[in-house]
Amino acid sequence: MPLPLLALAIAAFGIGTTEFVIMGLLPNVARDLAVSIPAAGMLVSGYALGVTIGAPILAIVTAKMPRKKALMGLIGVFIVGNLLCAIAPGYWVLMGARIVTAFCHGAFFGIGSVVAADLVAPNRRAQAIALMFTGLTLANVLGVPLGTALGQAAGWRATFWVVTLIGLLAAAALQVCLPKHIEMRETSILREFDVLKNPQVLMVLGISVLASASLFSVFTYITPILEDVTGFSPHAVTLVLLLFGLGLTVGSTLGGKLADWKVLRSLLSFLLAIVVILTIFAATMHSAVPAMVTIFLWGVLAFAIVPPLQILIVNRASDAPNLASTLNQGAFNLGNATGAWLGGMAIGAGAPLESLPWVGVTMACGAFGLTLLSASLERRARRSAIGQAAWER
């Protein structure tokens, strides 16, 4: 892996760990801070909303900054936010610290994706983005299970202290490995926001929201599901999360390769498969081995959609790639917040944990339908352009 992509992947590992590890620690945080599981689940929504709100704000703030300086500043916000999480005395301070941490997320992945894509040949751009996002998948393979195990053994605060140290390591790697001068496309930030007038860009953002909501309506509550429905011990839950993370790693690589081949076709296939696998999980969650197999396959599909969506937004917003890529991260996390909220609402209304996969199925069906519409409109626009060119001849 090229060193600049490795540095970006290390940062992605830290950011992914702090985002996802809270799900493995949900019961621990709830007990320690004397709040309910749905209230603790709102820490997921709070982080996600922080990304959604912070993405456009920091896109404006960093628009004219050199790319390396912007990435260094964003990782600095990450370090401070996790330090505040580690020392938070109560629920609302922890919520605020999570939101502070989240502010760097969207802009870092947005700018980082464009930098990664620009460092390689045009026919390898999706794979370069997938390599950066390998850090995010490894966060689920290693960071979340190990962070969960550490939190269960030494208290959840210990996990955030370690993530703070990972942030410092990432900052050092970025400083050493990233080129001093990274090419920037000269543009006005106000002109970049014109990209939101493009319905195809808005549809990609909508797909990202729905696909992410499909994942987090279930995954936010995966620890209670595995403990209370499947019957796993807390130690066994850590191993299942490791299995899920391995699936994410496979999926990210697979998604990157297929996105460089056929973006929309691969995206449609993955979304349809998510509908199928969540339907199956509604039945297999009651038995240990079938649940583990289903969770692994779910992990593969959950991150296989990320490279296609990220390269799709960069391609469709070629005049404003940094802003569009950053807003897509905000869209993913709006979906995270929406999914966690929908799952919490279902539980709060008295629905059993076993019903949560059906919430995910509904969201995935919406993402599939919107992708079909986008593909149809793109084909129609292409035919129209070909017809217009032929008529002008």
Is the distance from CB of 280 to CB of 79 less than 8 angstroms? no
* Amino acid in the structure at residue 115: V
CA 59, 71, 17, 103 torsion: positive or negative?
Answer: negative
Q: How confident is the model at residue 156 (pLDDT cuts 50, 70, 90)?
A: confident
Return the pLDDT at 26: 82
pLDDT, mean over the chain: 83
> Which of 36-40, 73-77, 174-178, 186-190 has the weakest average pLDDT?
186-190
C-alpha dihedral, 304 to 55 to 19 to 352, nearest 10° = -80
List the single range of 16-20, 208-212, 296-300 with lowest mean pLDDT. 16-20
Q: Supply the pLDDT for residue 274.
A: 95
Residue 192 and residue 319 in contact, taking contact as beta carbons nearer than 8 Å? yes
> Please, what sign has the CA dihedral across residues 321, 322, 325, 328?
negative
Q: How confident is the model over 158-172, as a mean pLDDT?
A: 92
pLDDT band of residue 178 (cuts 50, 70, 90) is: confident
Question: H or E element: which one contains 50?
Answer: helix 37-61
- Predicted confidence at residue 265, as pLDDT, reads 84
> How far is residue 224's CA from residue 216's CA, in Å, rounded to a whole number?
14
CA-based nearest residue to 118, from 311, 357, 285: 311
Range picked from 91-95, 124-128, 218-222, 248-252 for highest mean pLDDT: 91-95
**Which pLDDT score is estimated for 359?**
93
pLDDT at 270: 92
Cβ contacts of 298 within 8 Å, gap of 6 or more: 244, 247, 274, 277, 278, 281
Domains of the chain: 1-179 (1.20.1250.20), 193-392 (1.20.1250.20)
- pLDDT (mean) for 305-324: 75
**Nearest Cα to Cα of residue 241 among 227, 222, 260, 228:** 222
| C-beta of residue 214 within 8 angstroms of C-beta of residue 361 | yes
| Cβ count within 10 A of residue 261 | 9
Share of the chain above pLDDT 90, in %: 23
Comparing 100-104, 253-257, 320-324, the range with the smallest average pLDDT is 320-324
The DSSP line for 224-291 is: HIIIIII---HHHHHHHHHHHHHHHHHHHHHHHHHHTT-HHHHHHHHHHHHHHHHHHHHHHTTSHHHH
More confident residue, 324 or 97: 97
Cα separation, 182 vs 72, whole angstroms: 13
Higher pLDDT, 384 or 35: 35
pLDDT tens digits, one per residue of 192-205 = 677 777 788 888 88
Is the pLDDT confidence value at 185 over 80? no
Percent of residues in the chain assigned helix, strand, coil, to nearest 5: 85, 0, 15
Residue 344 CA to residue 331 CA, distance in Å, equals: 20
Q: Which of 7-16, 82-91, 252-261, 303-312 has the lowest mean pLDDT?
A: 252-261
Q: Are residues 179 and 66 in contact, defined by beta-carbon separation less than 8 angstroms?
A: no
pLDDT at res. 387 = 58
| Mean pLDDT (whole number) for 324-344 | 81
Is the pLDDT at 141 greater than 70? The verdict is yes
pLDDT reported for residue 165 = 93
Angle of CA points 49, 97, 213, to nearest 5°: 25
The mean pLDDT of 74-85, rounded to a whole number, is 91
- pLDDT over 80 (residue 256): no
User: Which band of pLDDT confidence, cut at 50, 70 and 90, is reported for residue 368?
Assistant: very high
- Mention every residue, 6+ apart, whose C-beta is less than 8 A from residue 122: none
